[in-house]
Amino acid sequence: MLLLPGERTIRTAYAVLGAEFRPIGVRGPGVLYLTSQRLAFEAPASRGRVRDYLKGRDTELVVSRSLHEIVNATVRRGRIGRPWLVVHVPNGRVAFDVLEPEAWVGAIAQAKRVFAPPTSEVPTIIERQVVKIRCRYCGSLSNEVDGRCPNCGAAL
């Protein structure tokens, strides 16, 4: 997978994308990536799709969701079979059959905390523009926020 500038890989594994989430012509097995920016799944495309649609590329980025988009990740345990990793996004979810889905849940949560904290936790920097005004009495410049002229004491 082609990484974006500044993006680094945190975790990768072979995974199978749930059948209901696959575009036509894309097979389920591929590679799941967790990076400092996103969760992505890259799969080999079928031969016809390579020729007609992908113009020679043999893999397709089927899923690419920024860490900010990911609401959370959970493990879905059915009555039979292996547990699945389920990644919830605002307009739905995607599910992967991957080894150690609990470890992926932990890694995704940590990546969100480290690389994509909720905006309410980001300190807000309030920049205040200081306006200089000239005193009507003595003509010296002072900050508007001062309220009084530092030179002669007149109200501004």
Interacting residue ranges for Zn ion, rule: CB under 5 A = 135, 137-138, 149, 151-152, 154
Return the number of the residue (39 or 135) whose C-beta is nearest Zn ion: 135
For residue 129, the minimal CB distance to Zn ion (Å) is: 22
Return the number of the residue (23 or 139) whose C-beta is nearest Zn ion: 139
For residue 149, the minimal CB distance to Zn ion (Å) is: 3
Return the number of the residue (114 or 152) whose C-beta is nearest Zn ion: 152
Count CB atoms within 10 A of the CB of residue 90.
Answer: 8
Return the number of the residue (4 or 154) whose C-beta is nearest Zn ion: 154
For residue 3, the minimal CB distance to Zn ion (Å) is: 60
List all residues 6 or more positions away from 122 whose beta carbon is below 8 Å from its beta carbon: none
Query: 10: which 2 tokens?
Result: 């945190």
Q: Name beta bridge partners: 30.
A: 15
74 backbone dihedrals φ, ψ, rounded to 5°? -135, 170
Distances (CA, A) of 124 to 18, 120, 152: 40, 9, 37
Contact 39, 26 (CB under 8 A): no
For residue 142, the minimal CB distance to Zn ion (Å) is: 8
Q: Report d(CA 105, CA 42) in Å as an integer.
A: 19
Return the number of the residue (82 or 136) whose C-beta is nearest Zn ion: 136
